[in-house]
């Protein structure tokens, strides 16, 4: 059996769209699943929509998300990984290289190839020169629409321009396009990997322009030529291409090539079921990364939009490796899928709890830095808003904060949102916040004194969450056991927690005290006790 080869072929018109990314993901999953090759090529035949820097940005996004490709377009800095393959510098994009035996992998760098094939098609009678001007075409279409006919090129140049005239116009450098001559009265039928049998009648297929007057090919020509040149076996793309398949199939036939298999993926939709668009939220993968969604979560979520492992599988959280193992086209859905950010949030929260602390710390650090920069400075005697000194101390401290915060994070951008761990030389909060139910001031002071005593008796070296919880719980039992044997823990824990955080809601006093450390914790208790004099 032939080795499978798939390709991801974005256009450099901006950032990576989430829908595009899903296509890339399925490409990757299918390639890895079948032990095939994954190729990245660039479709830059539309100079009007070209965006400077988009090629680099597309590559960075794919890279960041960890979908490794085997061949095609790369950033220069990884050239060394391809010692055994053919590598060339991109002609049109500095800093970009092309690695592999089937290049160029950038369409603007193989214009002559497309032109050659287009001219061959003309010679073989499958295409013809067209000198019609845009204005005439537009008028023609308007008229057809008025008569409720399908808007299709009327073959004016095929019927009315003689070969002699063609040659003459060509010599005079008249602008021209090359159009495909669609054979009529035919039913084109093919088997789509997700949709099954699909049929089209060629009478409704337009004589598509293959070569534009600026010398660039259209998508249809370039795509077919590339996929053949690059020996692509499976074309995986969005549903918007489904109705172009007959054109492509006919091209393969006219060129004498074997067509690949097709898989047309369902569209991603907005909440109102229209095609996913910018107006209703972010559509660039970058936006989600910036907001603090983990790549693991983005991959996990996007994979499940339009695909599922089937067979009553109830697992929801999958690693990339697991997805590779389970992926198949039989379970790709046919209907469009709404991009529901609530579910992404949940999946992200799951991943934040799941990945190793050190990994999470690396990813969260930029968000902490940003947060710390926003705090007023100098904040305290240590010179920064943490009750520790030095870079190591800071790292250790932030990791503790993260340990506590990760349980309640949806996105990394929320890190530090409650600033109880960072501030401020003086903790100042209302007396009433310290009060548990209807405790008297005296009891309140007693409670904090009890806590203080417990904390004072824990040596620095034993300052762990476990010890704190154990000692504090013992104190609860000792001081606040009612006649009926029930322990009113709130009497000890609430004032303590309030004293440490000055917040209505926060993590437990054990966790907070553990992060803050002995000195800072005792300091905050002392400040609170001042309040209830």
Partner RNA sequence: GCCGCCAUCGUCUAGUCUGGUCUAGGACGCCAGGUUCUCAUCCUGGAAAUCAGGGGUUCGAAUCCCCUUGGCGGUACCA
Subset of residues 348 to 387 that bind RNA, contact rule: CB under 7 A: 349-350, 353
Contact with RNA (CB under 7 A): which of 33, 115, 291, 343? 343
Q: Residue 31 CB, nearest distance to RNA (Å)?
A: 20
In angstroms, the CA 69 to CA 336 distance is 27
Site for RNA in 281-310 (CB under 7 A): 304-308, 310
Catalytic residue among 278, 334, 431, 478: 278
Closest CA to 140 of 186, 206, 184: 206
Residue 508 lies near RNA (rule: CB under 7 A): yes
Per CB under 7 A, does 273 bind RNA? Answer: yes
CB closer to RNA, 82 vs 190: 190
Question: Is 505 assigned a catalytic role?
Answer: no
Whose tokens are 């309030």? That residue is: 498
Whether 71 contacts 300, CB under 8 Å: no
C-beta closer to RNA: residue 31 or 349: 349
Q: Report in angstroms how near the CB of residue 28 gets to RNA at its nearest.
A: 18
337-338/268-269 β-pairing: parallel
Shortest CB 355 distance to RNA, Å: 15
* Sole binder of RNA in the list 346, 361, 423, 463 (CB under 7 A): 346
User: Cis peptide before 84, with omega less than 30 degrees from 0?
Assistant: no
Contact set for RNA, span 398-437 (CB under 7 A): 407-408, 436
Check residue 203 and report its DSSP letter.
G
The closest alpha carbon to 132, from 181, 180, 182, 175, belongs to 175
| Site for RNA contains 196 (CB under 7 A) | yes
Stretch of 25-33, 154-162, 195-203, 292-300 contacting RNA, by CB under 7 A: 195-203
Distance CA 232, CA 443 (A): 78
Contact 47, 214 (CB under 8 A): yes
Residue 107 is classified by DSSP as G
Count CB-CB contacts under 10 A for residue 364: 26
Q: Which residues between 141 and 170 bind RNA (CB under 7 A)?
A: 141, 145, 148, 150-153
- Residue list 8-47, contact with RNA (CB under 7 A): 9, 11, 13, 43, 45-46
Determine, following the binding rule CB under 7 A, whether residue 133 of this chain makes contact with RNA: yes
What residue ranges in 317-476 does DSSP mark as E strands?
A: 337-338
Contacts 24+ apart (CB under 8 A), 373-377: 375/419, 375/422, 375/423
Least distance to RNA from the beta carbon of 80, Å? 30
End-to-end, the C-alpha distance of the chain in Å comes to 85
Among residues 123 and 311, whose Cβ is nearest to RNA? 311
Establish if 91 lies at the interface with RNA (CB under 7 A).
Answer: no
Positions in 458-487 near RNA (CB under 7 A): 476
In the complex, minimum distance from the CB of residue 79 to RNA, in angstroms, rounded to a whole number: 26
Q: How many CB atoms lie within 10 A of CB 366?
A: 14
- Alpha carbon distance 453, 456 (integer Å): 5
| Sites for RNA among residues 239-258 (CB under 7 A) | 239-244
Q: Which is nearer to RNA, 231 or 489 (CB)?
A: 489
Residues designated as active site: 278
């Amino acid at each position: 059996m032939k080795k499978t080869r798939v390709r991801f072929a974005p256009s450099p018109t901006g950032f990576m769209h989430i829908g595009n990314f899903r296509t890339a993901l399925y490409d990757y999953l299918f390639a890895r699943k079948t032990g095939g090759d994954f190729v990245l090529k660039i479709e830059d035949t539309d100079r009007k929509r070209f965006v400077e820097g988009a090629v680099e940005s597309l590559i960075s996004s794919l890279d960041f998300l960890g979908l490794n490709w085997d061949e095609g377009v790369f950033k220069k800095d990884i050239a060394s990984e391809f010692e055994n393959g053919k590598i060339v510098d991109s002609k049109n994009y500095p800093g970009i290289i092309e690695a592999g035996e089937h290049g160029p992998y950038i369409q603007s760098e193989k214009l002559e190839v497309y032109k050659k094939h287009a001219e061959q098609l003309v010679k073989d009678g499958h295409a013809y020169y067209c000198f019609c001007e845009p204005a005439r075409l537009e008028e023609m279409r308007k008229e057809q629409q008025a008569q409720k006919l399908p808007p299709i090129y009327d073959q004016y140049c095929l019927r009315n321009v003689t070969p002699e005239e063609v040659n003459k116009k060509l010599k005079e450098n008249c602008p021209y396009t090359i159009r495909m001559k669609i054979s009529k009265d035919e039913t084109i039928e093919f088997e789509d990997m997700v949709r099954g049998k699909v049929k089209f009648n060629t009478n409704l297929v337009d004589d598509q322009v293959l070569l534009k007057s600026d010398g660039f090919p259209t998508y249809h020509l370039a795509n077919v030529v590339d996929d053949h040149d690059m020996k692509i076996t499976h074309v995986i793309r969005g549903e918007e291409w489904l109705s172009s398949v007959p054109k492509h199939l006919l091209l393969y036939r006219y060129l004498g090539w074997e067509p690949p298999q097709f898989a047309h993926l369902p569209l991603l939709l907005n909440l109102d079921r229209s095609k996913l668009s910018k107006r209703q939220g972010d559509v660039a993968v970058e936006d989600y990364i910036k907001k603090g969604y983990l790549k693991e979560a983005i991959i996990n979520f996007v994979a499940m939009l339009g695909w599922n492992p089937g067979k009553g599988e109830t697992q929801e959280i999958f690693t990339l490796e697991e997805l590779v193992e389970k992926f198949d086209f039989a379970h790709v859905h046919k209907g469009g899928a709404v991009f529901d950010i609530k579910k992404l949030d949940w999946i992200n929260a799951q991943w934040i709890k799941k990945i190793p602390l050190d990994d999470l710390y690396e990813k969260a650090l930029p968000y902490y830095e940003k947060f710390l920069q926003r705090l007023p400075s100098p904040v305290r005697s240590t010179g920064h808003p943490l009750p520790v000194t030095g870079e190591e101390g800071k790292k250790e401290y932030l990791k503790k904060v993260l340990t506590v915060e990760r349980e309640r994070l949806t996105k990394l951008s929320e890190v530090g949102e409650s600033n109880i761990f960072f501030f401020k030389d003086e903790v100042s909060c209302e007396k009433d916040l310290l009060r548990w139910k209807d405790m008297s001031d005296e009891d309140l002071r007693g409670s904090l004194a009890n806590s203080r005593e417990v904390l004072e008796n824990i040596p620095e070296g034993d300052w762990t969450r476990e010890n704190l919880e154990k000692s504090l719980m013992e104190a609860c039992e000792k001081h606040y056991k009612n006649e009926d044997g029930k322990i009113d823990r709130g009497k000890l824990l609430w004032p303590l927690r309030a004293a440490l955080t000055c917040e209505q809601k926060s993590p437990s006093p054990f966790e907070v005290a553990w992060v803050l450390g002995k000195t800072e914790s005792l300091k905050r208790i002392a400040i609170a006790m001042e309040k209830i004099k």
